[in-house]
Structure 1
């Protein structure tokens, strides 16, 4: 999707919402697309890199158990500018999932539900550009809560580092064979960029890995030709 299409969808969303009473954070989110000038360098904009841990991979029945996010300002990862919180999923956490992310039911028993956590996350995100690895998965859960709370999906632009990898790192694939797509997994990209990070498969650990991968891919692109926001959107935008 292009930024133009995103703005057209946003206009339709604002028309549908109309003058309905909304919390200030939701009303602000309806207008975030106005600030983006695609001709400017990508470093003129801030990015929030997010990762979610869930009870499983079924987007219909599984729920979020942890949200991790970190902000990039002027192309630099700001470790102190982070969001990291457990979420009460309101359902059991399968053993298979616990083996991956290590989050046990007793750890989330007193955590806040997704509706409250994502309200604070929306405040943290503000008007920044959202970044995630295989972003459609994380975006599904964010929008599930957004639509339940406010009646519309998140309006921020969303960049997918897996999509960026396919467009920037992999060989040209005119026939859509995708035989090299495994090179775009988070582990494969960590290896490519020599990132030896702890806390993999935790929300904050994976969002930090994604942030560093995003940073390095943008630098790689910039080394060949100065990267505008328009160019970044062309290779990575999913919403």
Structure 2
């Protein structure tokens, strides 16, 4: 509800802005899987290190149509942060200015629905930066793969309380983990898990 209210307010403010088109209803049939790598898990203080997105269309993950952005190395980043958050050297080199990276991301995802693993974290991080740079939050519809799995299991096994990790769910679904703890690898793996859950749900409904 709060996100819907915020989206309506942002739509009014951006009516004559460069990104007004983002607030139009999406009428296509694509999704975009996203993932962020950060310097921590506190969305109020952590900083973005990299952002990735990959399109999903017609039951396929379009890895040839993906985005993998590295941001300028945060000034607060030190050796301990690099070790704790499993950041790679390549993630810390040749980064883009934040504003340029966000503009590139917005152009890529457009107003398509977004897919993510525990996506509220990624949205909170991106929204913090977007509000600072452009004055609005992402208006896109979202699909959380972790919630998607829990809903599916509640229908077939309502007695169970399931909170699988990313790795556990990938294994249960028979999905290969593509470069864990890299933004693009996690975005691709999340997209594959979403498609597998969708396919399983379709198979169950046809029985």
TM-score (norm 1): 0.75
Other structure's SS at 1:172 match: coil
Q: Does 1:180 align with 2:162?
A: yes
Cα gap change, 1:224/1:107 in structure 2, threshold over 3 Å: closer, same or farther? closer
Please, which runs of 5 or more residues in structure 1 have no aligned partner? Answer: 37-43, 227-239
TM alignment of 1:1-239, pairs within 5 A: 6=4, 10-19=7-16, 22-23=17-18, 26-31=19-24, 34-36=25-27, 45-99=29-83, 100-104=85-89, 108=92, 110-170=94-154, 171-172=157-158, 179-181=161-163, 183=164, 185-225=165-205
Distance in 1 between residues matched to 2:26 and 2:184, nearest whole Å: 28
8 Å contact from structure 1 (residues 89, 114) kept in 2:
no
Other structure's SS at 1:48 match: strand
Cα gap change, 1:17/1:96 in structure 2, threshold over 3 Å: closer, same or farther? same
Cα gap change, 1:94/1:30 in structure 2, threshold over 3 Å: closer, same or farther? same
Count of residues paired in the alignment:
202
Q: How much does 1:152 deviate?
A: 1.7
1:229 maps to which residue? none
Other structure's SS at 1:59 match: coil
8 Å contact from structure 1 (residues 168, 221) kept in 2:
yes
Distance in 2 between residues matched to 1:180 and 1:77, nearest whole Å: 26
Aligned alpha-carbon RMSD (Å)? 2.4
Other structure's SS at 2:63 match: strand
Query: Which consecutive aligned stretches of 4+ in structure 1 deviate over 4 angstroms post-superposition?
Result: 16-19
Higher relative contact order (CA 8 A, sep 6+): 1
Q: How much does 1:96 deviate?
A: 4.7
Distance in 1 between residues matched to 2:158 and 2:129, nearest whole Å: 37
Distance in 2 between residues matched to 1:35 and 1:208, nearest whole Å: 22
Cα gap change, 1:195/1:114 in structure 2, threshold over 3 Å: closer, same or farther? same
8 Å contact from structure 2 (residues 50, 91) kept in 1:
no
Distance in 2 between residues matched to 1:97 and 1:168, nearest whole Å: 36
Please, which runs of 5 or more residues in structure 2 have no aligned partner? Answer: none
Q: How much does 1:179 deviate?
A: 3.7
